[in-house]
Amino acid sequence: MQLWNRVDKRILEQHLLASSEKRTTISFYKYHRIEHPEEWRNELYLSLDKLGVLGRIYVAKEGINAQISVPDDQQQAFIDYLYAYPFLNGIRLNYAVDDDGKSFTKLKILVRTKIVADGLNDETFDSSDCGVHLNADEFNALTEKEDTILVDMRNHYESEIGHFENAITPDVDTFREQLPLVVDMLQENKDKNVVMYCTGGIRCEKASAWLKHNGFKNVFQLNGGIIEYARQVEAKVLKNKFKGKNFVFDRRLGEKISHEVIAQCHQCGKPADTHTNCKNEGCHLLFIQCEACTAKYNGCCCEECMKISLLPEEEQRALRKGINPGRKVFKKGRGEQLVFKKSSNEMNVSEIKAE
């Protein structure tokens, strides 16, 4: 019984790109007590693998968090399977806004301590006492009021390429780091309306409860996050207050919500909002790169990495042996080799908007 996909990721990627199969990217989450997450994980893998589902799913005692790709001809079978679980019956599915069907190369289901790493001790507060959920209409109306503070509960590399008008965008690398920072930043505004948003809503479920636990009176959250907001804006023909791209954690690395480009290439400073990972596997740094710099550096973050990426694969493996690229990935575009990005941070150009 095989419960993992051990095929080389490069082979899987080649197969995916060559495939004409139509697929749809879907995300969903649910906080719910799961007594035996390991057993359920194995059951999920066997069932979803048969349906051709690809993607990344985290299972924990507190629930499930999934970002997946489903073959179009298996969508109804997938929904029927999912909804057969009583606690998942009728759960909202977030469908990708800008989807090419090439978001994931394999199915990966992991058992975690938490479905989102928040660093909180859930025994110390009521995590179910979350903020008031807002639809797109309500969100637009409330964020127009002067006594409302709008907070982006995503990381800096996410908000850099796209965010809502007038939102506070904390300069953090992780959600765990952001929670105490936001509480501290807003200490003098506990009586104001605090509206928060994230990609699909899951981070705000815990964050809004944490703010209420810390004495904030009027806490709200965008129901379904940016993804559901974009769907409602289009369906109801509403004003779109989101500018730029929505960062996503799959091969696409972003989906356009509006046509504005509000970020800059990390190498030359030209308007750009396309994230990429450095092609030198020993680096793998996530950064923003324009088309000209992609050609100039062959998809790498600097000339040194470009030289390494052009070496035979065996030589590259020898060079990166014993190196943990995760240390650089964690910086998410803060690499010292990104000259423009480094100088931009020093000049505090986070407020600069590309024309």
Positions marked active-site: 198
**Do 143 and 222 meet the contact criterion of CB atoms below 8 Å apart?**
no
**Do 157 and 247 meet the contact criterion of CB atoms below 8 Å apart?**
yes
> In Å, how far from its chain's centre is CA 264?
19
Q: Of 107, 128, 119, 113, which Cα lies nearest the Cα of 60?
A: 113
> How far is it, in rounded angstroms, from Cα 255 to Cα 248?
7
> How far is it, in rounded angstroms, from Cα 181 to Cα 185?
6
Question: Which amino acid belongs to residue 256?
Answer: K
Q: Which two tokens stand for residue 207?
A: 């964050």
Long-range contact pairs involving 324-332 (C-beta distance under 8 Å, separation at least 24): 325/281, 325/282, 325/283, 325/284, 328/283, 328/284, 328/285, 329/277, 329/284, 329/285, 329/286, 330/173, 331/173, 331/285, 332/155, 332/156, 332/157, 332/173, 332/286
Q: Of 134, 129, 100, which Cα lies nearest the Cα of 22?
A: 100
> How far is it, in rounded angstroms, from Cα 45 to Cα 4?
8
